[in-house]
Structure 1
Amino acid sequence: MENNVIKNRYEFVMLFDVENGNPNGDPDAGNMPRTDPETSFGIVTDVCLKRKIRNFVELYKEGEGGYNILVKADRSLNSKFTEAYDALGLEKKQKGKNTDDVKKAQGYICDNYFDVRTFGAVMSTGDDPCGIVRGPVQLNFAKSIDPVYVQDITVTRQAVTTDKDFNEKKQSEMGKKSFISYGLYRAEGYVSAMLAQKVTRFSEDDLELLWTAIINMFENDRSAARGKMCLRKLYVFKHESALGNAPAHILFDKIKVERKAGVEPPRSFGDYEITVDRNMPEGVEFIEKL
């Protein structure tokens, strides 16, 4: 895998939308769609997007060595760290005193877990810690292009929960459902060749898998709560060098997304116009993945 480690820096822009759904519930607000309280723009966290990428990779690469997922609800993280020590025959329960062993275990985790190789992880807990890994791929929060209006509606169910309610002839139960009618979101991300080379050995194959996962991350993640979610566009900026050939913000500014004149309120992707300045700085290649 080391010979295939990426050698170029990348930035990328994702555009995705939601129709009649909740793209990312906020536990601090009764699981209503996340919004900026000062502007009412919709928010989807980086953690939410990474979860969808992890879930797709797990489905797509199920059972294939090197593509396990560390951050998932199958067993404790500490037990996975100990597994790395067992696999390498390292002395356990040293609480990280042997830094060479920690580095070896960390390398094992990076080689075997795609999400650590990609996003990094904090693995400094338990009797057999594996240190802290800063991943080469990072995402910003996604933000809606326009403010979103959150609706909270009442829904009914023709099935009661308890025997008591059933015996008392209760006909239905009520609940709440929070959603937005439509929102187009923009998220930006970064891929660092320097971190890939020095730390996780994130490879060209991993990079292609990342693009595939982003394009398909909503396709196998359907639920009644999330409504209709689609990745609409994936734009990639590829630098000639590992350190990069232009500042990220200059490249991000090449892509403008604006609501079409006279559209109020927006209710579809067609209500927006995307303008791309394809005149790139020297040493940067623009790639439209979707």
Structure 2
Amino acid sequence: MTALKNRIDFTAVTVVKNANPNGDPLNRGLPRVDETGHGFITDVAYKRKIRNALQDLGAHIYVQAKERTDDNYPDLLSRLKGDPDINKIFQEKDHTKQDYKERMVRAICAKFFDVRAFGAVIALKAGSGNKSANDSIGIRGPVTIQMGTSLGTIYPNDVQITKSVISDIKMKGHQDTMGHKPIVNFGVYVTNGSILPNLAEQTGFSQEDAQLFQKALLNMFVNDASAARPDGSMNLIKLVWTEHQSANGRYPKYEIDDTVHVVYPQGARQVSEVSVQVDPLPGFEKETDDAAVLQVVKERMDD
């Protein structure tokens, strides 16, 4: 594996059409909207989709969705103990040894892609005979993702629906039941993120991991369809991937993010009406065509 030595910034632009991109369970499942009327998608929602995509790409994932479990482990602790290297450390009698947590972190990060990428709080319930009854390990990951925010105000459409089916024979005469399906008719959401080499060194996140993560970003809406998000209703139209030639980067994060400009007419309803322009900063150049979904921007070595 090649060590990740240079900072990477990325911006993902997503178009939502007749879908609920991220419902709020505390607000009747309505699409999330902030106090200004702009819609948002939580970083946790993005990470769930990325984890799912990484699973499809063959990566080992620690935090798996229940309906997508691929190892038959019923919980996180069982998943940890299922790995021989992790379980060997876990079974040690003395969890207070100076290097215990360091060895545990190395073993967990080596096994699980999402932990060495996003980090995690690993809850360890010590077994009988261990000197620490309960313990937890905090791991900081190099990959950070901001909440995605819509470029315009969002007006959730709460569509009324009915179901014509008898759920229980005892409910005779109550066949039709009213319900609702909240959607966003049309919206453009932008999220930004970074991969930091100093934290990558701590978890073992490599250059090859960064390339696999990029691929997962490009495929995060593949196999993600549901009743709330029908296939084709959420589309990643641009992923801007900016590679620096130093650990801290040549420009502040906000200047990198501000190079991405999204344009679409008022009243737009089609994905094809949305365009994205990228203005590379001095010292950077585009490596891919503007029409491509993946837009790679790299800092020139000679500047």
TM-score range, shorter chain: 0.7 to 0.9
Of residues 208, 216, 219 in structure 2, which corresponds to 1:213? Answer: 216
Query: 1:55: which partner in 2?
Result: 52
RMSD, matched Cα: 2.2
Structure 1: distance between partners of 2:103 and 2:242: 34
User: Which residue is 2:175 aligned to?
Assistant: 171
Q: Encode CA deviations 1:4-29: one digit per residue, 9 max, x unaligned.
A: 12111010000011111100011111
Match of 1:69 in 2: 61
User: Is there any run of 5+ residues in structure 2 with no aligned partner, and where?
Assistant: 67-72, 127-133, 289-293, 296-303
Query: 2:252 corresponds to which residue?
Result: 247
- Which moves more between the two structures, 251-260 or 27-36? 251-260
C-alpha spacing 1:112/1:277, structure 2 compared with 1 (3 Å): same
- Superimposed CA distance per residue, residues 93-134 of structure 1 (whole angstroms, 9 cap, x where no aligned partner): 768422312211111110110100111111144227562111
Aligned residues: percent identity? 34
The letter of the residue matching 2:203 is T
1:92 positional shift? 3.2
Inter-partner Cα distance in structure 2 for 1:97 and 1:164: 60
| Aligned counterparts of 1:204 and 1:86: Cα–Cα separation in 2 | 24
Matched, 1:148 2:154: yes
- 1:27 maps to amino acid: P
Three-state SS of the structure 1 residue aligned to 2:162 is: strand
Q: How far off is 1:287 after superposition?
A: 5.0
Contact conserved, 2:80 with 2:86, CA < 8 A, in 1? no
Please list, as runs of the form range in 1=range in 2, the aligned pairs for 1:196-275 lying within 5 A after superposition: 196-197=200-201, 199-227=202-230, 228-260=233-265, 263=266, 265-275=267-277
Amino acid at match of 1:258: V
1:222 maps to a residue whose letter is: A
Cα distance in 2 for partners of 1:60, 1:90 equals 28
| AA aligned opposite 1:126 | K
Distance across 2 between alignment mates of 1:43 and 1:119: 20
TM-superposed deviation, 1:194: 1.3
Question: Could you tell me how far apart the structure 1 residues matched to 2:222 and 2:82 are?
Answer: 33
Of the three residues 3, 17, 20, the one matched with 1:5 is 3
2:125 & 2:86 partners in 1: Cα distance?
17
Aligned amino acid, residue 188 of structure 1: N
Which residue in the other structure is 1:194 paired with?
198
Q: Distance in 2 between matches of 1:28 and 1:95?
A: 43
TM-score computed with the length of structure 1 as normaliser: 0.87
Q: Deviation of residue 208 (structure 1)? A: 1.1
- Following the alignment from structure 1 to structure 2, what is the Cα–Cα distance between the partners of residues 129 and 83? 19
Q: Residues 151, 134 of structure 1: CA spacing in aligned structure 2 closer, same or farther, 3 A cutoff?
A: same
1:40 to 2:37 alignment: yes
8 Å contact kept, 2:81–2:87: no
With over 3 angstroms needed to count, the CA separation of the structure-2 counterparts of 1:154 and 1:88, relative to structure 1, is: closer
Confirm or deny: 8 A CA contact 1:9 1:193 kept in the other structure: yes
Shift of 1:272: 3.5
> Which is further off, 100-109 or 72-81?
72-81
Cα distance, 1:273 vs structure 2? 4.1
Total equivalences in the alignment: 274
Structure 1 residues 286 and 251: CA distance shift in structure 2, 3 A: farther
Measure, in 1, the Cα distance between the counterparts of 2:22 and 2:82.
33
98 and 130 in structure 1: CA distance in 2 versus 1, 3 angstrom threshold: farther
Q: Secondary structure at the match of 1:121?
A: strand
Call closer, same or farther: CA 1:147–1:171 in 2, change over 3 Å. same
Matched residue SS, 2:125: coil
Cα distance in 1, alignment partners of residues 93 and 135 from structure 2: 9
- Do the aligned partners of 1:160 and 1:173 also contact (CA within 8 Å) in 2? no
| Shift, 1:209, TM fit | 1.0
- TM-score, normalization: structure 2? 0.83
Contact 2:238–2:276 (8 Å) recurs in 1:
no
Q: CA deviation at 1:39?
A: 1.4
Classify 1:90/1:173 alpha carbon distance in 2 versus 1 (closer, same or farther; 3 Å): same
Give, in angstroms, the shift of residue 204 of structure 1.
1.7
Give distance in 2, aligned partners of 1:247 and 1:9: 11
Alpha-carbon distance between aligned partners in 2 of 1:100 and 1:85, rounded to the nearest angstrom = 18
Letter aligned with residue 103 of structure 1: E
